Amino acid sequence: MAVCVLGIPISDKSFARRKSEHLVSLTHQPVEPPPDVINGHEKLMVGLAPYLGRQISENKVPVKLKLVAKEGLLILKDFKGIEHKSSEITISWQRISLPAPKKFFRQIIGPYASYESAYEVAKFLKLNGISSVVARPFDWEVWVAKGTSLPEKIKRRNYEEQIAYQISPVLQRSGGNIVLKGPITIRAQKGLIWNSGTYLGPFLIQPDAYGSWTLVENVPLERYLLGVVPYEIGSNSPPEALSAQAVLARTWALANRNRFLIDGYHLCSSTQCQVYKDPTKANDNIKQAIGRTSGKILSWKGKPINAVYHATNGGVMASIDESWRTSAVPYLQMKLDGPFSWASDVELPLTNELYLKSFLSSTASPYGAKHHLFRWKRSLNAQQVQDLLKNTVQGLLIDKPQKIEVLKRGKSGRVLSLRITDVNKKTLTLERDKIRRSFRNLPSTLFVINELQKGFWEFSGGGFGHGVGMSQSGAIELASQGWTTKQILSHYYPGTKYGFLP
């Protein structure tokens, strides 16, 4: 059996040798990596419920995992061969002492507001010959082994942990509880009821890199899309828009299949990935859209593209480096999203505050203008701003915000750097995705600020989401005008290849 240290799978014998030679310090609990997904022929491992049992390490009562069969039985088997069949299964969590404490050492870089920003750091380190792994114990972080020399510009903190116990799953039975050993497989004859939906599985309960556990579904890629497409764009969108969304969801899944590599599965089911819900509720429109595009993706230089998308861009697409601290790519650049007759009248660049205000107040209609958040206003007072900033570590140092100012904008007009100054002249600067993460009630970073009075600001903006790639409301409008799936994708991802992955 292989284990994973710093995200690199190595054999047990190799691991023992390296450990004895003190060439590797464990940064986290070793977890076997998931099998790779090749051209959609393998199954995706999707985390439905992460961090199970974590409350034990926080000295809280852990929440039990209750699994209910839609019909028939659930069949549970653990690593030791214990088998249990029932229409309902309850798993509790128990602290069990280890024969000897485990020690973990790591250098932590972060936290980051998104996987994209964390991954960019890991990619930079790799180019410099430094092994690292992207983790998400709470927020996104990059972990590097103790003693590894890092570039001076990389801020990091050292972390040491000694664990004298492990969190173990316990099968609750009327005839006596049984401590289980993972990974645990669960098969549902007619499906598992989860989050008010039905999931077909099969399922795993497996340990993660932090000592807790995750409920994972093994799901074929095309079935996974049934649980993504309707919840991302809406079941009753025009057929060509649904097909475009299916291609993007498939492409995104393949391109991001290593997102939770450290925890032994591919993707999550929340907004940190693509929203994945009950696939059995997909209507015929969704099934036909997925069927029409079966196996097709967007690629660039032979690889799946970074197929990001969003609800509405407010009339202008953002380049990828405006939303995340990442390298620019040719197919995700700033571009006005509307007919030529409209675009030719727009003053560029939108880094100019005056041009941006005019753009946001214009009554002309680019693509996707029917979305309810195409234009928006939000008002915040100093106390509300302070409460929002409490979500960030640095924000805890801010006391009574007095000034909010834009320091830098991207070509699309989106805010790249935002500075908050408090009553004591302390400042907090937020950049790119951290702005959206902190000011969660602002639909996008495409906004201008007007101070109505001291300690009271109005944000006037456009769009909902990061603004990179396809605007779903724009795609719906283009499809209703007769655009094909290929035309829509070519419009939002120029230069990419539409077809099967080589």
Digit-coded pLDDT (tens) for 193-210 = 999 999 999 999 999 999
Res. 1 pLDDT band, cuts 50 70 90: very low
User: How far apart (Å, rounded) are the C-alpha atoms in residues 123 and 130?
Assistant: 9
Q: Which of 427, 402, 40, 24 is nearest to 219 (CA)?
A: 40
The DSSP bridge partners found for residue 207 are: 213
pLDDT at 456: 96
pLDDT on residue 364:
84
Residue labelled with tokens 């907090």:
428
- Encoding tokens for residue 161? 């942990």
User: What interhelical angle do 239-255 and 485-492 show, nearest 10?
Assistant: 50
Q: Where are the domains of the chain?
A: 35-219, 222-296+470-500, 309-468
Please state whether 196 falls in left (phi above 0), alpha (psi between -120 and 50) or beta.
Answer: left
Burial string for 410-428 (b: 16+ CB within 10 Å, else e) reads bbbbbbbbbebbbeeeeeb
36 CB-side CA count, 13 A: 4
Q: Over 70: is that where the pLDDT of 10 sits? A: no
Residue at 9: amino acid letter: P
Sort strands 192-194 and 203-207 into parallel, antiparallel or unpaired: unpaired
pLDDT of residue 157: 95
pTM summary value: 0.91
User: Which residues, including other chains, have CB under 8 Å from residue 63's CB and lie 6 or more apart?
Assistant: 52, 55
8 band by pLDDT with thresholds 50, 70 and 90: very low
Lowest mean pLDDT among 57-61, 108-112, 419-423, 427-431: 57-61
The whole-number pLDDT of residue 451 equals: 95
Q: Which residues of 357-378 are buried (b: 16+ CB within 10 A; e: fewer)?
A: eebbeeeeebbbbebebbbbee
The pLDDT assigned to 25 comes to 59
Given a cut of 90, whether residue 409 has pLDDT beyond it is yes
**DSSP three-state, residue 17:** helix
User: What token pair was written down for 414?
Assistant: 């989106």
Residue 302 pLDDT > 60, yes or no? yes
pLDDT in tens, 114-154: 999 999 999 999 999 999 999 999 999 999 999 999 999 99
Q: What is the mean pLDDT of the chain?
A: 92
Tokens for 328, please give them: 């620019």
Cβ(501)–Cβ(299) below 8 Å: yes
| pLDDT for residue 462 is more than 90 | yes
d(CA 216, CA 226): 17
% the chain with pLDDT above 70: 93
Strands across the sheet with 303-304, in order? 303-304, 296-300, 497-500
Q: Is the pLDDT of residue 393 over 80?
A: no
CA distances from 447 to 211, 355, 428 (A): 42, 12, 19
pLDDT at 6 over 50: no
Contact 465, 262 (CB under 8 A): no
Query: Which of 338, 308, 324, 162 has the alpha carbon at shortest distance from 245?
Result: 308
Contacts of 456 (CB under 8 A, 6+ apart): 379, 380, 381, 382
pLDDT band at 325 (very low <50, low <70, confident <90, very high): confident
| pLDDT tens sequence across 208-256 | 999 999 999 999 999 999 999 999 999 999 999 999 999 999 999 999 9
Band of pLDDT at residue 17, cut at 50, 70 and 90? very low
pLDDT higher than threshold 80 for residue 405: yes
- Residues 462-471: what's their mean pLDDT? 97
- DSSP codes, 401-458: EEEEEEEEE-TTS-EEEEEEEETTS-EEEEETHHHHHHSTTSS-S-EEEEEEETTEEE
Bridge-based pairing of strands 309-310 and 470-471 is: parallel
Q: What is the pLDDT of residues 265-289, one digit of tens each?
A: 999 999 999 999 999 999 999 999 9
Task: Identify the pLDDT of residue 384.
Answer: 94
pLDDT over 50 (residue 13): no
Residue 394 pLDDT level (bands cut at 50, 70, 90) = low
CA 394 to each of CA 153, 434, 438: distance values in angstroms, whole numbers, following the listed order: 19, 12, 11
